[in-house]
Structure 1
Amino acid sequence: MPLSPADSRELLHLRDIALRGYLRKDGMLDIEARLTDTKTYGFANRDRGRIGAGEPLHGMSLRVTVDQGLTVRGAEAAMDATPHAICPGVAPNFARLEGLTIGRGFLKGAMERVGGTQGCTHLRELLQQVATVAIQTMFSVRAHKAAREGGETEDRWDIPTALLNSCHAYDENGPLVAAARERAAARTAAEA
């Protein structure tokens, strides 16, 4: 169901975020995120002079490489458009994410390494989404492998414990979790 009709309005600010999950030939995953902010009008900027309508105020990218255990093996940031000339100076700090594992405590660990003045608010905002896309990409890797091997992917998918009670769909007392438990029990019985 779409949103309700909006009142008469004028578009002023656009934020576009794109995320992509890639399987590399070496078995690792590259998760790439791009954030672009634009305005529908031009305005003065102290460091850049003038930023025209549709010209990026923020144009920032982040690539996080993880192994199949979701441990960060590399991270790289690029800041192609920023409102202040000083901003790109923190891009190299995002390499500090190396060694963190995506899962419980990931964001806290990331904030310890690139929080506050050691990082960039906009790039840090992407980290939650990068983590989610890494997990979803890992599910895709497993499903893609099963499909290539002629196996079924839907019936074998179990709900990871970390997702239990994370949202309405994964309520531990709800129908999706109950169905997953039934499939797991049936698989266990068939394998015995």
Structure 2
Amino acid sequence: MYLFNRSITVNIRSIDGKSITVDGFFLDSHHELCLTLGVDLESNTITSAEGEFRRAPHSDCGQTQEKIKKLIGVNLNRYVRKQIQAAVGLEQGCTHLTDLTLECVKGIIQAKFRLMHLNMETEDIQPQVQQYLAGSCRHYKKS
């Protein structure tokens, strides 16, 4: 018997290659949260944010849903974690909404790499990926 379970799912789509829509879902034994973000790829900024707390363990958890709109304007180039925590986390927010948003941002990075593969030649992609991911894991260790 499992005492607890958690799943986080992120789906990303793009119609025009200039913006993306991110749908994030956080589901565990106590919570069900949904989040939809619009992101402008040129400015790398969140342009829209909607979400819903479908299930939460405490009656005041739902009040955090109002903070989702504060994600609009978050720039994904620097200090992302700090910006997201300030918008939806910390004492007046929700750690699970923060976690879901951060997972959505990780998905955005992967989606951008996929878009590169759709729009660029392989030899042009590799140097950009190498530079971006340098030092992030064993494969991309800095020389």
Counterpart in the other structure of 2:40: 67
Q: CA deviation at 1:121?
A: 1.1
Normalising by structure 1, report the TM-score: 0.66
Structure 1 contact 29–68 (Cα < 8 Å) conserved: yes
Which one of 78, 97, 113 corresponds to residue 104 of structure 1?
78
Distance in structure 2 (CA, Å) of the matches to 1:160 and 1:100: 25
Structure 1 contact 164–172 (Cα < 8 Å) conserved: yes
Normalising by structure 2, report the TM-score: 0.86
Runs of 4+ in 1 over 6 A off after TM superposition: none
- Structure 2 residue matching 1:13: 3-state secondary structure: coil
Distance in structure 2 (CA, Å) of the matches to 1:107 and 1:143: 27
Distance in structure 2 (CA, Å) of the matches to 1:28 and 1:140: 13
Which structure has more relative contact order (CA 8 Å, sep 6+)? It is 2
Distance in structure 2 (CA, Å) of the matches to 1:160 and 1:67: 23
Distance in structure 1 (CA, Å) of the matches to 2:8 and 2:95: 14
Q: CA deviation at 1:62?
A: 1.3
1:81 aligns with 2:55: yes
Across the aligned residues of Structure 1 and Structure 2, the Cα RMSD in angstroms comes to 1.9
In terms of fraction of residues, the more helix-rich structure is 2
Query: One-letter code of the match for 1:59?
Result: E
Counterpart in the other structure of 1:176: none
Which one of 4, 7, 14 corresponds to residue 5 of structure 2?
14
Query: One-letter code of the match for 2:14?
Result: L
Q: Which runs of 5+ in 1 are unaligned?
A: 1-9, 39-56, 147-151, 174-192
